[in-house]
Amino acid sequence: MSGYTSVVVVTTEEHPWENKGNSLSEIANRVEDRWNAEIDNGDNEFTMRATVDDYKVDINDRTDAETAKNEAAGYLENSNISMVYDVVLVMDDYSHDAANGYAFVGSENNPAAGTYDRGIAYCTKGDYHLAEHEVSHTYGGLHDHHDEWGSYHYTIMGNPGDKQCFEDNTTSSFRVRNNQYNNCAQQNIRSYVNEHRDKLNY
Ligand SMILES: [Zn+2]
């Protein structure tokens, strides 16, 4: 098996990312490194390449992160960028009142990563490993698959109130996301890639 799934990170015309702490390239590297350390199985069967493109997206309506993501998707529909990459992660410096990220959760029957209109994720500040979190949603990563390895170190997919992926139903009351995938998230994502390999850049 060779090839890789591809993610591109872009910003917006209105609120371009201004390198607060991490540049977009550093964020792209972080997303790729973490994925290749934990989602890839060592046989290059699930490899990811994440890059940055200078292309800028236009978002007019920012009522909430979901609306912003849908606006970005509409804009990208008229470009060729979303056809080249499996996921487009749009990041900017806008500050939302509520959630700062949104992505459609891919599943067997409703794919996201690798599709024209739903393989698009949006987020603002990079706190709580939001970039990794939103990208993982498009590959089928689920919230109710948090895990705890130590005090308040939860998986990339963890959210307050979510259930642990193993059966004891422990919930997380904090959103402190360790930059790590737990087993359940790894399984979700690998099975998404296996199911949709024909749509992804493999
Ligand atoms: Zn989420």
Query: How many whole angstroms from 133 Cα to the centroid of ligand 1?
Result: 6
Supply the pLDDT for residue 1. Answer: 46
Query: How many whole angstroms from 80 Cα to the centroid of ligand 1?
Result: 27
> How far, in Å, are 50, 58, 127, 144, 153 from residue 100 at the CA level?
21, 17, 9, 19, 20
Q: Whole-angstrom Cα distance, residue 66 to residue 102?
A: 5
Q: Which two tokens stand for residue 198?
A: 């024909």
Q: Whole-angstrom Cα distance, residue 49 to residue 172?
A: 31
Query: How many whole angstroms from 3 Cα to the centroid of ligand 1?
Result: 27
Q: Whole-angstrom Cα distance, residue 84 to residue 130?
A: 23
Confidence bin at 126 (pLDDT 50/70/90): low
> Can you list the domains of the chain with their CATH numbers?
5-142+190-195 (3.40.390.10)
Query: How many whole angstroms from 102 Cα to the centroid of ligand 1?
Result: 7
* Residue 23 burial by Cβ neighbours in a 10 Å radius (0-12, 13-18, 19+): middle
Q: Which two tokens stand for residue 101?
A: 């990220």
What is the distance in angstroms between the CA of the first residue and the CA of the last residue of the chain? 8
Place of tokens 């350390």: 37
Confidence bin at 167 (pLDDT 50/70/90): low
DSSP state of 37: H
Residues 45-72 have pLDDT tens digits of: 999 999 999 999 999 999 999 999 999 9
Supply the pLDDT for residue 168. Answer: 67
Query: How many whole angstroms from 171 Cα to the centroid of ligand 1?
Result: 15
Query: How many whole angstroms from 135 Cα to the centroid of ligand 1?
Result: 9
pTM: 0.93
Query: How many whole angstroms from 105 Cα to the centroid of ligand 1?
Result: 8
* 87 Cα distance to chain centroid: 8
Confidence bin at 149 (pLDDT 50/70/90): confident
DSSP state of 128: G
Query: How many whole angstroms from 79 Cα to the centroid of ligand 1?
Result: 26
Residues 74-115 have pLDDT tens digits of: 999 888 776 689 999 999 999 888 889 999 999 999 999 999
Q: Whole-angstrom Cα distance, residue 22 to residue 44?
A: 27
Query: How many whole angstroms from 143 Cα to the centroid of ligand 1?
Result: 6
Query: How many whole angstroms from 11 Cα to the centroid of ligand 1?
Result: 20
The edge-to-edge listing of strands for the beta sheet with 5-12 is 48-57, 5-12, 87-91, 120-123, 101-103
Query: How many whole angstroms from 1 Cα to the centroid of ligand 1?
Result: 30
Report the amino acid identity of residue 99: A
Query: How many whole angstroms from 87 Cα to the centroid of ligand 1?
Result: 16
Residue 148, phi then psi, degrees to nearest 5: -125, 125
| E strands, 29-188, in order | 48-57, 87-91, 101-103, 120-123
